Amino acid sequence: MDHTVLTPVPGPVPAMPGAGAGRLRDDFDLDRDLDLDLDGDLDGDLDLDLDCDRDLDHEPEIEPEAEAEPDLAPAPLRLQAMSAILDGVLIAAGTAPPILIAAWALPVGVDLTRALLPAALALAALVAIAYGTLAHGLLGATPGERLLGIAVADRDGGTPGMGRAALRASLALVGTLALGAGLWPAIFTRSRRTLHDRLVGTRVVRAP
């Protein structure tokens, strides 16, 4: 009597319940993570490109260089005094002829001092103001200053101009008549600037 042993044939392993769903969920999560990573990278690249474009479009502002003040060497006090004397002689020379003509025309016996002194002083003041205004406003220096190599300049080193020159000449006359009070700052300061120079923003410098 034959005894046949039956060996069971291995068949497909039955799937565990829920294993397929878990694998599908893992695959889905992986795909979603990849999508998110790609989206994040793309967004980052786009942001970087936009930032680069914005930086290129935005031109850097170049601050203007501060203009350096001109190096104006103050004129020595002795040159200013000498030029004032020379200019005074020229002003007197321009004032004298009409005064002499008026004195010659007056009748004999008239007190010339009483009759002509006020007019002579007023005329000399007008001539001095006109002399300083025209010389400084147009040329930057009077004949006496030009002869000694000095000039009157504004803050930028240029010619003061007619308006500033007229104001300076008027204040200089007032400061000189006030016992020379307008000239004192030039004596006791290193800048050698008179009071009228300080008020109108000018200075007496060595001519370039």
202 in Cβ contact with 90 (< 8 Å): no
What does the DSSP assignment read for the chain?
A: ---PPPPPPP-PPPPPTTHHHHHHHHHHHHHHHHHHHHHHHHHHHHHHHHHHHHHHHSPPPPPPPPPPPP--PBPPHHHHHHHHHHHHHHHHHHHHHHHHHHHHHSPTT--HHHHHHHHHHHHHHHHHHHHHHHIIIIISS-HHHHHTTEEEE-TTSS---HHHHHHHHHHHHHHHHTTTGGGHHHHHSTT---HHHHHHT-EEEE--
Which range, of 36-40, 147-151, 164-168, averages the lowest pLDDT? 36-40
Q: How far is CA 29 from CA 6, 15, 20, 22, 33, in A?
A: 46, 22, 14, 10, 6
pTM of this prediction? 0.65
Question: Higher-confidence residue: 4 or 208?
Answer: 208
Pick the most confident of 3-12, 61-70, 130-139, 175-184.
130-139
23 in Cβ contact with 17 (< 8 Å): no
Kindly tell me if the per-residue pLDDT of 124 is higher than 90. yes
Determine the Cα–Cα distance for residues 189 and 193; give it in Å rounded to an integer.
7
Mean pLDDT over each residue of the chain, to the nearest integer = 78
Kindly tell me if the per-residue pLDDT of 171 is higher than 60. yes
Question: What backbone phi and psi angles, to 5 degrees, belong to 8?
Answer: -65, 130
Average pLDDT, integer, range 177-195: 93
pLDDT, one tens digit per residue, over 2-59 is 444 444 545 444 444 444 444 544 554 545 554 545 445 445 544 545 454 555 455 5
Q: Token pair 């031109």 is at which residue?
A: 59
Average pLDDT, integer, range 149-159: 94
